[in-house]
Structure 1
């Protein structure tokens, strides 16, 4: 019994000490806020650091404190409570539904001068939908309605899509029908959200009926409308239905903003049917047609990830002969792929074509070639190419220098690595500590002790300053 009483006393003392420490911390922060200097935060008498530290502490209380209202009451923050602070805390607690609702109610009851705006209400609605607190979400929506605050179409879309995500399609349809009651028109975006919700539960009959209703009501389907339904059918293996849908919409005069075959390719890729997508593109190219550049980029990226780089390069050459105009994303995908498999000459050819097209090479374009040359041991060519890119392309960034230093270190070229370290510091691109360690150790091992000492001094001097 005596031992049990002692343990209880220890626990209570620990809890009391912890609570006291938290309270002291909060008091220090709020005191700093009250006596801080004015700045650009609307003349609240706070510094930026104090303000954001307070937001962070309030967010932690909301997320973790069982008695959050009691703890918040001990903070003297009335002079900084406004719409911005409430919004920042709600956004920071976006995965804590009921806790965010309690905080919102606390602010409104304890600070009568605070008038919530649409921004805070909608952030809270999103949090409650995300955490599936549907009843509380509807209470908040009714509060908005009572204050004559409209619910924006983007929030209605967000909630409908989350209903669909959790299989609550009846509730999604109900909200779609009730949207007008909240001064929110049934826009194309809202139709698309319900369409996505229906496709989530594989209700393609209902989805197709919704599009017919949209067209009858004078709505105009956009690219996302077609993409959602085509993606849904493709994911369910219903290629024929997707093709019939596109043909029917075309007959009715509602042609998609992109070509039907591109939508089918995108749908197959999104559903994971890479071989079917490749077959469709093969068929297109044989008939003399080419995919849209965005569709080709998605296909090329998927093919390269699967390891079929040679097929991707051959496909790229075929579509370019047919008239495809590559964009910068195309060059990035293909140059990376060719460099990775060691086809450096091909990568150089594609890079030069991008320059001829008017693109100034940026680091993610020439870094793969640089790395490929180093892997093949062609360091002199790599150094010459790097120097050329510093003149003709965008300035190299920190990752490019880091990669080049690492490749030099692996090949035992520590003097060149040291030169690039110095070059980085001159450009205010501070090297990683691992790079310094690798270079200094390598220089010492190969007898370059004086240079190693200078590199060590270089690492210390800017930090000491």
Structure 2
């Protein structure tokens, strides 16, 4: 028997093609116990009851990931940015660019920045006699994206588009959808929504297919709900929407909406998909079930789970991942154990990510005995805990004021060669403050930098808030000075009320 496990009255629950009982009655009423600080989207700012400043901890988004599917068998990976991670803010993946093109891109940017009265950038580019390629255009646009700031954000879109027009007129070169997406990225960085819509119209007029990446860039820039819905409708109806590697345009849209946390809009798109006669696949169900869960609609969640089984669809790794988190969050370790055994029976061996999601859910439910049980079981089954798994356990112990256990795990992960991440350090710093070890907490902040882990604002705010609550205003100000000296988060200084910068 699992420590801390409770066997609630069970009702018959459909587990796909098998009759298997997973969830207790109280898991289907659409209500979950919420700890202090939990937001409506299921994310938690902190677990220790800290109020005021941003104290962030591990978000479910770091664990419950649903990546886009790979291209169909026989279809090569795309060499453009449609295949890159669709999370907002990702500028570039692995980049292997010949030195010559790096040098040319730098030179082109310098020429463009001189454009104005008395200097024609177009003429200077003509005189270079360049051979324009996709990689060269990509490099120039990349430089615009990474160097956008408050000073140049109004000028950069015009310069980027000027180069884009010039490149499109060069012999032997023609813009693809991917290249339009590069310019859209520059416009998005500068908040040029109208220009983005204009570029979309231009793509349509030229008969270029618009991709899932195009949709992602546009929807992330649309701030108004009405504008988002209008955009979704347009893409659903568009015959030129190239939605690879997704099975349908609906899946491409649903996945993007999930990455930007538009859960209510996911519900609307799902209903439209059904109304239009499209059949959901496993990816569709995974995305919609996750949205329902994060909206707190567990009755809808279970209804979709039953429907998935009736339609003969087999769950994948991401379905199991989500189910384990839900069972953990509902404090149902016995049902979770049944599911893990079932996964092994059907040849879907649980990975570290599955155990981590389960432990994270149980930790949020406050069942640390069950967390320890599954952590040990994971190791027994040959799954090596990674940094995220250690961090979830450490965060749980800190939230339960069991800092000695957290310290043991922290030391153990270092011995095992696992490097702490910013969330690990944040939890440990909070724990040290809780037990009154403020000097060690401040030392750990500097230790982060020594080990190449840049503190985020949550780390600084956690430490400052705890120091001030303990009456250590001088030490808190020293932490803020340390942050400003490193030139980090200066735009957030106003959050530290009462601090005056010298």
TM-score normalized by structure 1? 0.49
